[in-house]
Amino acid sequence: MVKATVTTPVGPITVSSNGLAIVRVEWCEPDARPVGNAAIDTEPEICPGTDIGIDSSTDASDPLLTEALRQLRAYFDGTLRAFDLPLNLGQISETARRVLTTLDETVEPGTTVTYGELARRSGAGIHARGIGSIMGMNPLPVVIACHRVVASDGLGGYSGGRRGNALDTKRWLLEFENALPPTLF
């Protein structure tokens, strides 16, 4: 497995590939610097567990990883709306796989879905709280856009983003996709 980290407006994100599929997307935690709503990380940081240099744009040993980094950059530049990568969700239950696949296939950028509606769409037979748990274990956040799943009365939770910035990250991603109006403050 190879990894590389890309700097994004919501913090450094590490992508892992097994050469056949993207198997993990996660926020890198090199330090405890807070990332605010509109903060943009401009300096590369060394992240634990990174095998390839920060902001690597090419690696002959894994063209898929190079493509994943290119697509993430394009997403955050606003020029890519949907990812087109082979994905591997790993060792998750069939129910979780069904819910995440339904999310990926039915919730477009710029839209949201409630936990309850995603439960209904997936036909998984679980309640909204179960959907929340599945979103929390999503191994491919941003690529499979669990940030688009919201509570019926607000944002709901989010486990992505840098430590202490989960809901700010969710709000930023939704505003970036024009699924939420920007906050006034």
Active-site residue set: 146
Structure tokens at 182: 């920007």
* Rg of the chain, C-alpha, whole Å: 16
Cβ neighbors of 159 (< 8 A, separation 6 or more) are 135, 136, 141, 166
Closest-CA residue to 20 (of 114, 85, 111, 105): 85
* Structure token digits, residue 146: 């669990």
Q: What's the DSSP call for residue 181?
A: P
Asked if 23 and 16 touch (Cβ cutoff 8 Å), the reply is yes
CB 128 within 8 A of CB 114: yes
